Chains A and B, each alone.
Chain A
Amino acid sequence: MEAKIENIPRVTAFIDEQLEALDCPMKAQMQIDVAIDELFGNISHYAYAPGTGEATVGFDFDEAAGMISVVFSDRGVPFDPLGRIDPDINAPAQERAIGGLGIFLVKKTMDSMEYRYENGKNVLTIKKKI
Chain B
Amino acid sequence: MTINKKQNGTSLEIAVEGRLDTTTAPMLEEELSRSMPGAQTLTLDFADLAYISSAGLRVLLAAHKAMMPKGGMKVINVNEIVQEVFDVTGFVDILTIE
Using a CB–CB cutoff of 8 Å, the interface residues on chain A facing chain B are: 5-6, 8-9, 27, 30-31, 33-34, 37-38, 41, 44, 89-94, 96, 98, 101-102, 104-105, 108-109
Contacts and interface: CB of A to CB of B under 8 A. Distances in A.
Interface string B82-98: 00110011100110000
A74 B61 CA distance: 31
Interface of B: 19, 21-23, 50-55, 57-58, 61, 64-65, 68, 80-81, 84-85, 88-90, 93-94
Contact of B88 (A38, A41, A109): A109
A93 B21 contact: no
A34 B89 contact: no
A37 B50 contact: no
B94 A8 contact: no
Contacts of B23: 5-6, 8-9, 37
A109 B51 CA distance: 13
B59 to A, nearest CB: 10
What DSSP secondary structure best describes chain B's contact surface? Answer: helix
Given A41-B22, A89-B90, A105-B88, A30 B50 contact: yes
Contacts of A5: 22-23
A34 B51 contact: yes
Contacts of B90: 89-91
Given A30-B81, A31-B81, A90 B93 contact: yes
A33 B54 contact: no
